[in-house]
């Protein structure tokens, strides 16, 4: 009787372990492709509107066996933000306190409102956006598509206020930058295709 219970227990343990391992094995790890990554920051100033480009980024998207986002992280070095003017870049880095807070990061907490229609994807990614050492929960609405198996592209925009992240908008002499900015992004995650 004891041997039989032990055998049943071991069988359940092995089957459970294989099921968990199967989910891990079938998880799809996708890396952000820095060559196709595009993010532009749009803002205003007392002189004229401005744009800065994000030139560096890294990230990973993990899709589980149920084809749902299990995790998503994106990291952007603050000093990878570049405009057409070196002085503007310097003021931007000062506003971020880049020496103390060198990275902007987004970490997914929930992928809600996921809709897939053929190769088209619509998703709201809820997560923690950290800038200037301050973390706030945000909802990023994106549209995307399956470019090919293992390659996913997402586009969207998000507006925020710098002061919400403890930042003072940059200023230069009599030119003052507005508090509100809009981020427009186009990001591709790539990895091996799974069935």
Instruction: Quote the pLDDT of residue 17.
Output: 35
Alpha helices in the chain (DSSP H): 2-25, 86-96
Could you count the other beta carbons within 10 Å of the beta carbon of residue 185? 19
Integer CA distances (angstroms), 43 to 28, 40, 175, in order = 36, 10, 13
Which residue in 23, 30, 29 sits closest to 65, CA to CA? 23
Q: What is the pLDDT of residue 92?
A: 94
State the burial class of residue 83 (Cβ atoms within 10 Å of its Cβ: 0-12, 13-18, 19+).
middle
pLDDT at res. 115: 82
CA–CA distance, 28 with 191 (Å, rounded to integer): 7
pLDDT at 171: 86
Q: What is the pLDDT of residue 4?
A: 42
For the chain, list the domains and their CATH numbers: 27-190 (2.40.128.110)
Provide block-wise average pLDDT over 10 residues at a time, the chain (195 residues).
42 37 61 96 93 97 84 97 93 96 96 82 94 97 93 96 95 89 97 76
56: its two tokens = 């560096």
């Amino acid at each position: 009787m004891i041997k039989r219970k032990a055998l049943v227990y071991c069988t359940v343990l092995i089957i459970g372990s294989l099921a968990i391992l199967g989910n891990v094995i079938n998880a799809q790890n996708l890396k952000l492709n820095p060559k196709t990554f595009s993010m532009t920051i749009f803002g205003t100033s007392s002189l004229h509107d401005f744009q800065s480009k994000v030139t560096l980024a890294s990230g990973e998207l993990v899709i589980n066996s149920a084809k749902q986002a299990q995790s998503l992280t994106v990291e952007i070095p603050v000093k990878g933000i570049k405009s057409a003017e070196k002085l503007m870049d310097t003021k931007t880095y000062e506003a971020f306190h880049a020496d103390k807070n060198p990275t902007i990061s987004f970490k997914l907490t929930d992928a809600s409102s996921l809709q897939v229609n053929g190769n088209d994807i619509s998703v709201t990614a809820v997560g923690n956006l950290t800038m200037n050492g301050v973390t706030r929960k945000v909802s990023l609405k994106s549209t995307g598509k399956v470019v090919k198996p293992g390659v996913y592209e997402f586009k969207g925009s998000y507006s925020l206020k710098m002061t919400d992240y403890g930042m003072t908008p940059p200023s230069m002499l009599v030119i003052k930058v507005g508090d509100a900015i809009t981020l427009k992004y186009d990001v591709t995650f790539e990895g091996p295709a799974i069935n």
